[in-house]
A and B are shown apart, each in its own frame.
Chain A
Amino acid sequence: MDKILRINMSGQEVPKVTQTTLEEYEGLGGRAMTSTVISKEVPPVCHPLSADNKLVIAPGIMSGSAAVMSGRLSIGCKSPLTGTIKEANAGGQAALMLAKLGYAAIILEGKPENDNLYKIIINRNKVEIEIDNSLKLLGNYDLVAKMNESYGDNVCCISIGPAGEMKMSAASVAVTDKEQRPTRHAARGGVGAVMGAKGVKVIVIDDDGCPMRQPKDPEKFKVANKEFVAGIKKHAVSGEGLPAFGTNVLTNVVNEAGAYPTHNFKVGKFEGAAKISGETQAELEISRGGKATHGCHTGCVIQCSGIYNDKDGNYLTKQPEYETVWAHGGNCGIDDLDAIAQMDRLDDDFGIDTIEMGVTIGVAMEAGLLEFGDAKGAIDLIKEVGKGTPLGRILGNGAAFTGKAYGIERVPVVKGQALPAYDPRTVQGIGVTYATSTMGADHTSGYAVATNLLSVGGKVDPLKPEGQVELSRNLQISTAAIDATGMCLFIAFPILDQPETFQALLDLLNSFLGTNMTSDDVMALGKSILKNEKEFNYRAGFSSSHDRLPGFFINESLSPHNTTFGVSEKELDEVLN
């Protein structure tokens, strides 16, 4: 990856395409690339939908190689949902293909002065940009089918649905999977709205004729890759639980812990949990001829995804993930897997973040628009978003916006972004991360990466509550570093528990890049990413006073443990100081 593709969409004329060398961005990938470019090139106080904002699309530093699990694509910008810096990432085939084509980043700049909708076609010979207004308001599924008719079945599409075109703050960017389905989404923070503001409906990528990226030390790389695969496969989470049940395996356990937010975060247990659990979902998928084990991109050996068929055995959607099943299910009092799968399909087609949409519907239920448990009503609300009705435009701008529109106080957001599927009153440490993340409430910004192995800031006593601040900080640093590699975060479990697998990952990185990175260097990379993001947010007007959970998490106790969020503001201010 030795070049950056810049496409300036401004002006009445044809967008301007420039190809540059990496220069100051040499050696960066994934979130390190997106956050560095945004922090250097985007005015922090700009309007997120203005010409000044940029959309940066970057594969990880390992993407396009034979390294397993290296298929994550980062998409960054100033977020229209939060107003902060944003990086959202997705699986699918795009990171692999872009990296093979040699692009370390595609940067969409400027803004068209007309209402035309553009498609961008990238292959090894050329970059073409065409006006194609026939694509207006197409859902992602129909859009991809149309691209396949024109460009064949071996391309990959990065696209937006109607929500992105309407510049809704909950809009996602879709990435196609191995089966040419738009099921993988860089979903959080409204990155799709920024792509919509640039007037770009779809980027079609064709890597035909491009070889895999080659490691600097092929022999060492081969050995490390083999060891890394063995480590992933022998671990109970990445080798058994995730392949068998997907991420939704968490429903039963989080519910049993009393940490499963139900009825818009009113209680911590859901009576219908077993009906929508990963175990039940996997059995249903298999019984209908779908799949409970499936990879979202080439080179995935964990295979945590699946295929969800309807009652007649026809494809409906990919296996809904834990966060989706929770957001549209337990959070809204809905225990019907078919209804949840239908909502997942609509979200993917319209291009909406499933977490933001589910939490928004929960807020709408709290406002009295419909009853908790009303599955049909919830489906109808998502259709309003797809149609762009006045109600749909309120909902499509997220939970905070909807809460304001209906005068609701109990809105579970941080910096305007909806909380994911773990109640911070029960698992307080994740509340520290929700509050202090540079991205707004985000369960993946402080993942269970091997902080014990990295040992940054000294060893933490896990049994002492005061360890939460230090742990959250270390997790956010190490997660930022993983996000730069293009590696799927689910490698976290084998590298958390198995030192030899952590070493294999380091060997993989070093043999591929020709470097001698240590764990200290990995953490230094993570720190520099967070520093850039934090500085951007500061210049955008954010301070420690924004690193807070909504008041009801502090004032309302949550059953069954009857706990409130008890980490002090002083402690929160120490996390990323």
Chain B
Amino acid sequence: MSFKQVILTSNDFVPFSFILQEGIGITVQSGCTLKQLLFDNLGITNDYIEKRIKTVFINQKPVDDYETAIVYDKDVIGLSGAMPGLVGATLRNNSVLSSFRSNISYKYPPDRQYKPEKTDGLITLKIFNILIKEMGQVLLENGILIQAEFLHNLLATEHRKKESAFKTITINGNNLDWKKTGNYLWNINKTEMILLVVKFI
């Protein structure tokens, strides 16, 4: 898969929080396990997975076993730290309260047939709460996929601020005035995925 590439320099992480909550695109090997996605694909350490990622959803289903859960093309994965409230505790992986949500829990084997031969896939990854800052910066630095429309909205929101965090933008190798890039992005298909790389300065 190839994508148009946008490189953005920013002196602040906060403007990216919203897109991480809404979901970013990540290329994966469709058919890999959730553990493989987190460990091999995203480069998250076992220690971090165990201690910080307390709730994971695959297509809205809370997951208890990362080793057996399978990730396919077009799946939506949500990652969260430990949450308050009865329901927050109930949704945690292997919660003592997990019987409260047994009707929606991810169950193996998944609905779709497991395909051992792995193919390229694209998933939506949502990151919430304490994980946003901890994981988000590295993900943005490594590059994420984002729909042209959402990138346009991100730039437009920042453009409206008195003092923008964004300093420079490079599109497919060309340096542009980032405040004038909106029209360029509008002129391409709104749903086209763009590879966004952020350099924090």
Contacts and interface: CB of A to CB of B under 8 A. Distances in A.
Interface of A: 235-238, 240-242, 244-245, 247, 249-250, 252-254, 256-259, 269, 274-275, 277-280, 283, 304, 322, 422, 426-430, 433, 443, 446-448, 451-452, 460-468, 471, 475, 490, 492-493, 496, 560-561, 563, 566
A430 B101 CA distance: 9
Nearest to A278: B129
B18 A274 contact: yes
Interface residues on B, range: 35 or more
A252 B128 contact: yes
Contacts of A467: 99
B101 A250 contact: no
Interface in B24-74: 52, 54-55, 57, 60-62, 64
B85 A429 contact: no
A471 B97 contact: yes
Given A274-B21, A427-B87, A563-B104, A256 B126 contact: yes
A247 B103 contact: no
Nearest to B21: A274
Given A252-B21, A257-B104, A463 B60 contact: no
B104 A253 contact: no
Nearest to B99: A467
Interface stretch (B76-84, B108-116, B166-174, B175-183): B76-84
Contact of A465 (B83, B86, B99): B99
30 contacts: A236-B52, A237-B82, A245-B129, A249-B83, A249-B129, A256-B60, A257-B57, A257-B60, A274-B18, A274-B22, A279-B21, A279-B129, A280-B21, A283-B14, A422-B87, A426-B101, A427-B87, A427-B91, A428-B101, A429-B100, A447-B86, A448-B85, A448-B97, A465-B99, A468-B99, A490-B84, A493-B84, A496-B89, A496-B96, A561-B61
B5 interface: no
Contacts of A560: 60
A252 B18 CA distance: 11
B138 interface: no
Given A427-B101, A467-B99, A241 B90 contact: no
Contacts of A443: 85-87
Given A253-B91, A274-B21, A241 B82 contact: yes
B84 A460 contact: no
A475 B84 contact: no
> Which one of B55, B86, B88 has the highest number of Cβ atoms from chain A below 10 Å of its Cβ?
B86
